Each structure stands twice: as C-alpha cells, then as structure tokens.
Amino acid sequence: MATLALCAVLSACAVGPDFETPAAPDVASFTPQGQDALPAGGQRLQAGADIPAQWWRLFRSDELDRLVRRALDASPTLEEARARLRQAQQDLDAETGGRMLPSVDANLSAARQKVDPSAFGVPVAEPPPPFTLYNASIDVSYTLDVFGGNRRVLEGLAAQMDYQAHELQAARMSLAANVVTAAIRQADLAERLAATRELLAAQTRQQDIMRQRLDAGGIALADLRNQELLVAQTRATVPPLEFQLAQVTHQLATYLGETPAALQTPPLRLADLTLPPDVPTGVPSALTRQRPDILAAESLWRKASADVGVATANLYPQFTLTASFGSQRTGAGELADGVNVWSLGLGLVQPLFHGGELRARKRSAEAAYDAAAASYRQTVLDGFRQVADALRALQTDADAYAAYDDAWRRADEADRIAAGRYQAGGISHLSLLDSQRQLLQTRISRTAADAARYTDTAALLQALGGGWWNEADALP
C-alpha cells in the first residue's frame, strides 16, 4: 500500500522541460523606415488593420475569386495535408488510449494435459490419466506514468498534430497566393504577347516601307539592315513569351486540380482587377502568431521538448500493475461456476546497464531541442524579412509604374500628334509607324510594371499570414 501511495504522489510529476510559448518579439515596425513611411503610389498601408481570410477579394475580381475557390476545393495538395492531419489525430487518439488507460484482454483456451505428481515430490501409485483443462480469464495491465514519460509522448503527438494543422493552413495560404500570382502573371503575359505581336507587325510594316524607299534611292542599305535587325530581335521575343504563357497556364491548371488540356478558362485581364487602395499590414509583434510556418516551427520545437522528457523518463523505473481473474476447469460446462483463479502483481523495471544508450539518447534529444529552437528563431527572422521585402517591393513597383506610366502617356500624346500630322500630310507613314512602335514598347513595359504591383501586393498579404485566423468571419 505504501508503494501504491508513493506511485500516486509521483504520478503528478513529469520529468523533462515544460515548454512555454515564445514571447512575441518586441518589434514596432517591419522596416527601418516604418511600414507607414514607405510610399506606395496610391496604395495606403494600414498599420494595425487586420487581414481578411479571403484577402484575394480585395482585388475586386469575381473571376479571380472563382479560381481561388476552385483550387481550394479540388487541390490534391490540400487533400494530402488534410489526410496527414487526420493521421496525426488518429495517432494521438491511439496512443492516448494505449498509454493512459489500462489494457483489458479476455482469454479463452483449452489444453490437453498430463500431470505426474511424482515430478513435484508427491508419490502416487498410478499417475492420473490425461485431462483437458479449460480456462476463461480476464487480464488487466497498466503501467503507471510515475515520471511522466507517457504524458510526454502524448504531448509530442499533440504537437505533431498541431504541426500538421499549421501545415494545412500554410498549404491553403500558399495555394491561394499561387493561384492569384499565376492568374495575374497569365494576364500580364497574354497582354504583353498581344502587344509584342502588334509591335512586330508595326516594325514589319516599317521594314516594308524602308525597302521600298531603298529601291527608290531614298535611304541607305544600312538603314534597312538596322530595321531588319530590329524586326528579328522583336520576333525572337515572341516564342519565349508564348512558352511562358503556356507554362503559367499549365501551372494554373495544376493548382486547380486539372490537367493542362482540361483548363478552358481564358486568361484574366489586368483591367478587370482593382489594385487594393488600402492594404492591411497588421501588427508586427503579432506576426509570430499569424504565420503558419512560424507556428509550425513552434510545434516542432514543442515536440522536441516533449522528446527530451521521454528520453529522461526512460532513465527511471517503470511500475506496472497486473491483475488476472477467471475460471479454470476440467469441464467446459463448468467455466461458469465462478472465479477460482486470480492474481495481482506489481512489477518494477529499473534500467541498470545499456551501454550508455539511454543517456546518449537523452543528450541527442537535448541537441534536437536546441536545433528546433534555432530553427524557430530562423523561421521568425525569415518571416519578418519576407514582409520587409514585400513592403520594399511595393515601393519599388510604385516608382517603376509611375515612370513607365509617364513614359506611356508621353508616347500616347506623341502618337496622337503624329496621327494628326500624318492626316494633314505633315509627316510620312514611316514616321507615323515609328511613333506607334514607341507607344507599343512603352505599353509593354507599363503592363509588366502594372502586373508587378498586383503580384507584390498578393505576396505582401501572404507574407503577413494570409488572414486564415479570420476564416470564421469570412464572407460566404
């Protein structure tokens, strides 16, 4: 009884470190200038504003929303993540039942036996004949969790389940961002390809006119060769654009859970998207509780902490309670006559010599714990870096777009003036085509800069965590 009382007292203990959730970093800003100090070319960065779960709807495109929803419903990547989460949940349930509750087994057996009493020092004139022994019993076994080894195992499995849950959220966030980025890039490439083909057509017409002027003696052969070089260079840019467009379309189909041949959705148009004027940036110190990759790294750190406890508990004694009761008869019909055999036992196993294995495993678990802690800190740093990069990209994109938009407006104005002068007979057709070429070239650059603003806005919202914590409040 004293031993059982001691075990009951010790069962409240659990060796090894008790994991504590890391404190939020003392960070007031994502960048040295402060996230509100970065110019964003018409976009307002709202510090402290929360990110909606369906952040892609900030682009005000129903078609983009449908693409993301299709991907979230059909992606095999999400199916895999959900299955791994279910597996982790079942592993935890199985180990909880096996470690925290006693095991109870029913046994039923029949054995043909012959017993010679003289073997036990009991002289008999004639040994009894063989007989059949029937046995029906219930066996109970329970290992006391005196030093918390079982609880540490369950703590590690719970951390593994949390890790899979955060991995699922990360997969959802990444998939939504990938679909948005692919759709924007598809629209960008489609528009740049169309403009490049128009540019090629304009340059080809210029080349034809210059060839006629060469025949008439109006220009030198070198001028025609330079134009032919320009046409060849522009023509060479078309196949790579076609390949990039096909490649991103195939990638988009994969995100949607379809084969490339099955995707029939035409590309979006950048004009159908709205650049979010207000971009929520949240609170810097909350980033560690919002990014799924940081939370996943924390779960692995917690599991490593539990593994240290398991390795430590393995150095201490294990106490096992056993009990058995049943009926043992020579006739099968007599098994129901009552219990006539039983036993109670308490076993203790204390490791004495394992060649240093157990202590080495404890040191290994401690090293894994230190590695998980360092990995967590690195993940936090990478998270803040990605947000800072995205904020800086928005500033660069805004400056680049402003420059290209100014160039495009000037080229557009010059083209209108050239068209008027051509109608009045003031310039040649070749000069008109040259102004159109410049307009198309600036249009291609402006389109690329415009697309970069959309993709980097999506990258910022992803880097900030994607708003998954607001899913319960998401609009239908």
Q: Token digits for 215?
A: 């025949």
Confidence of residue 472 (pLDDT cuts 50, 70, 90): low
Picking from 187, 185, 99, the residue whose alpha carbon sits closest to that of residue 145 is 99
- Cβ atoms of 288 and 24 within 8 Å: the answer is yes
Phi and psi torsions of 71, nearest 5°: -65, -45
pLDDT of residue 418: 85
Indicate whether 4 belongs to any domain: no
Mean pLDDT of 377-406: 93
Instruction: Classify residue 154: in a domain, yes or no.
Output: yes
Residue 358 lies inside a defined structural domain of this protein: yes
Mean pLDDT value of segment 367-396? 95
- At 8 the pLDDT is 45
pLDDT of residue 360: 96
Query: For residue range 452-465, what is the model confidence (pLDDT) as tens digits?
Result: 999 999 999 999 99
Q: What average pLDDT does range 134-162 have in this prediction? A: 94
Domain total for the chain? 1
With a cut of 80, say whether residue 42 has pLDDT above it. no
Is position 11 within any domain? Answer: no
Which residues lie closer than 8 Å to 473 by C-beta, 6 or more apart? 53
| Cα 275 to Cα 181, 279, 394, 460, distances in angstroms | 13, 10, 12, 13
Pairing of strands 318-329, 278-282: unpaired
pLDDT at residue 255, rounded to an integer: 95
Q: How far is CA 128 from CA 112, 118, 125, 335, 412, in A?
A: 13, 11, 10, 22, 117
Percent composition of the chain: helix, strand, coil (DSSP 3-state, to 5) = 65, 10, 25
- The CATH number of residue 238's host domain is 1.20.1600.10
List all residues 6 or more positions away from 326 whose beta carbon is below 8 Å from its beta carbon: 107, 135, 136, 137, 138, 339, 341, 342
Residue 29 belongs to some domain of the structure: yes
Report how far residue 184's alpha carbon sits from residue 64's, in angstroms, rounded to the nearest whole number.
9
- Residue 353 within a domain: yes
Domain that holds residue 260: 21-112+128-470
Instruction: Give residue 462's identity as a one-letter amino acid code.
Output: Q
| Cα–Cα dist 78/36, whole Å | 35
- Residue range 352-365: mean pLDDT, rounded: 94
The answer to whether residue 182 sits within a structural domain is yes
What's at 112, amino acid-wise? R
Output the pLDDT for position 314: 94
Query: How far is it, in rounded angstroms, from Cα 19 to Cα 8?
Result: 24
- pLDDT per residue as tens digits for the range 5-35: 444 444 457 898 999 999 989 888 888 876 5
Q: Among 267, 274, 205, 275, which residue's Cα sits nearest to residue 241?
A: 267
388 vs 43: CA distance, rounded Å? 16
**Residue 9 in domain:** no
Model pTM? Answer: 0.87
